[in-house]
Amino acid sequence: MKRRLWVVTELYYPEVTSTGYYLTKIAEGLADDFDVKVLCGQPNYNAKGTKAAVHQIHNGVEIFRLFGTTLDKNVILFRLINMVTFGISVLLKSLLRFRKDDMVLVVTTPPILPFLAAVSSLVKRASYFLLVHDSYPEVLIAVGKAREDSLLVKLLNRFNRWLYRNASKIVVVGRDMLELMEAKTKGLDVPLRFIPNWAELEQVEPHPRDENELLSDLGIKHKFVFLYAGNMGYPNDLESIVDCAKKLSNDERFHFIFLGSGAKRKWIEEQAEGLKNVTLLSPRPRSQQKIFLNACDVGIVSLVKGMRGVSVPSRTYNLLAAGKPILAVVEEGTEVDMILKEDGVGWTVEPGNPQKLLEMILRIYESKDVLYEMGHRARKAALDKYSPEKIIKEYINLFNEVELNVSSYKRKN
């Protein structure tokens, strides 16, 4: 009989934003080995407005979709209301459904979610596993929403120690995050595991630039194009990129594409008004990634200062899959920085320094002859290191180790 595994996440199929996509694929990838069930909310991001079934079985996974408000997530008050209403539903449903010896995988966004899953797991004598996509309170400090010496930060750190102490294992998606988590869990003797996210090789691959329909539609095939595709939120250093676009507005060689949504999108719209070298596009379905990720010479990922060990931009892996060199506006020693240096697939510039970024952009253009070989290495890295099959197998091994430990314990007792 398969052991029961719960996946607790706000976002899940049919939501296909980053967290929703990855948690869906993890759950479905584990379904052959475990009895997988999901507690999640209704779509509230790219698939907002879709009314999914409250209860269904999809690709071998039993899904329970819970009530929660779906107010505008870019308004902080509304986001808090969404978090609280969904959190109450999770707590009640998990207390009703969890059973002794169940395993629970809970993602750390929204930040209240792992605490509620932990309470239910402990009450019902289940074991819970944290999947850290974003580390709190560090992300709040980095984006200027909390001071390091504030009461809020001190409380969160204290609550986190309780959360970590009782976890069966903690999974992180970056080696810089592993380093941060080792410091945060010092003395707690909780196992940590680094399992990166993966590249969507099933639908993203290199495609000839001169056949790219988006570049044709925009009339910029003759330009040297930088693409930023992804979340336009507070954790992303978009200011440095926009500053460079402004300084290059009269340079006919360059064009910048921004594709996505988030709290900073409106600001970008205002700043980009009148700039002929900037195109701002709305989010597009994941199924179109092959098109828009190939609509550039270089892809850009960015994080603000203070995000080292806090989060890993998942778009990085799909840029690798598309065979694109990457310009990363991130701190040295981050997971993205390590990937670029290990595989020779891009360049790193410290965030918050538009002048250094501008110099790097000009240097990349002058050395554009190396882009083809960099793109080849990027695709190879995606295939060799970041395939879905390879990463899902690591999750299977993670929970199979628990099964072996439980069986060994029962035999001894």
Kindly report, residue by residue over 298-339, the tens digit of the pLDDT. 999 999 999 999 999 999 999 999 999 999 999 999 999 999
pLDDT digits (tens, 9 = 90+) for 24-50: 999 999 999 999 999 999 987 766 667
- Domain 4-198+388-412 identical in fold to domain 209-385: yes
Contact present, 388 and 202 (Cβ < 8 Å): yes
Selecting from 3.40.50.2000, 3.30.70.260, 3.40.640.10, 3.40.50.300, what CATH number does the domain 209-385 have? 3.40.50.2000
Reported as a single tens digit per residue, the pLDDT across 350-375 is 999 999 999 999 999 999 999 999 99
Contact between residue 408 and residue 401 where contact means Cβ atoms under 8 Å apart = no
The domain ranges of the chain are 4-198+388-412, 209-385
User: Is the domain defined by 4-198+388-412 classed in CATH 3.40.640.10?
Assistant: no
pTM score, two decimals?
A: 0.93
Go through 188-221 and write b for each residue having 16 or more CB atoms within 10 A of its CB, e for each that does not. Answer: eebebbbbbbbbbbeebbbbeeeebebbeebebe
Confidence band of 409 (pLDDT split at 50, 70, 90): very low
pLDDT bracket for residue 404 (50, 70, 90)? low
| Rounded CA separation 183/294 (Å) | 39
CA distance 386 to 379: 10
